[in-house]
Chains A and B, each alone.
Chain A
Amino acid sequence: MKPVVVWAGLVALTLVEVALAWVHTAPVLMLGLLILLSVGKAAMIAWWFMHLRSFRPRLLVWLFPMLLLCIGLLFVLVRDGGR
């Protein structure tokens, strides 16, 4: 895909996020939707701009699940810290 098309897609998703802020939904729903859109935008940047698609599959399999596991553990730790 051409970089300009990816960029236009990222700008369009940003405008969708701003439109969501205009609507004023419940904070939990709003947070969920915004995180979903942000993950999508981050994936687009990583896949096309950071050339993740040409990454060696073995590295992809080792590194990214570990990163997701660490982020998942952060959620657990924050909840535990709130007690």
Chain B
Amino acid sequence: MTGHKRLGMWLFVMSDVLTFATLLIVYMALRLGNPDWPRPFTLSPAILFATGMTIVLLASSLTMVWAVAAMEAGDRRGAVRWLVATMAGGLGFIGLHLTEWRHLLETVSPGTIFGSVFFGITGLHMAHVAAGVIYLGVLAVGVGRGKFAAEDVETGGLYWHFVDVVWMFVFPLIYLMAVKP
């Protein structure tokens, strides 16, 4: 039977979509229900920085597509190279995110409603990215040793793209809805 790994990952992705959907819907209800919602982000440098993080994450999705394509073409060495590039993108995203958190912690307390929502949602997303980097590392080592098939890399790709999809909602809803007027 082929495709069962992909189906399993799709089912996991859908269950995790509901986790993030719950958090984001609660956030939207809080945001719209509070006219005095904090807006700590300035367009420069905060939003430009977060836009850079978004572009890095999107670029890592592109390298993941190339890793899957290389594996399907039987190019294991190319697949490992693109998987490592994807991991580098993920690590770059985490590094930028932690830098941003360090600056934000000077002005936003995690104990406030905004702080708990912001650090809770972005922290959960960052944990997913970190788990994805480890997952891709295991895949890269396995592919390099001739262990995994193309479907395994594609399944890893599904997870990585899902992490990207989540950020497509987190960035506009959390950051752009809290831009300083």
Contacts and interface: CB of A to CB of B under 8 A. Distances in A.
Contacts of A49: 61, 64-65, 157, 161, 164
B28 interface: yes
Contacts of B148: none
Contact of A3 (B47, B65, B162, B164): B65
Interface on chain B toward A: helix, strand, loop, or mixed SS?
Answer: helix
A71 B66 CA distance: 32
Q: Decide if the interface of chain A is mainly helix, strand, loop or mixed.
A: helix
Interface residues of A, number: 38
A14 B171 contact: yes
B24 to A, nearest CB: 9
Contacts of B54: 14
Given A7-B61, A67-B17, A74-B21, A37 B172 contact: yes
Interface of A: 3-4, 7, 10-11, 14-15, 17-18, 20-22, 24, 27-28, 30-31, 34-35, 37-38, 41-42, 45-46, 49-51, 59, 63, 67, 70-71, 74-75, 78-79, 82
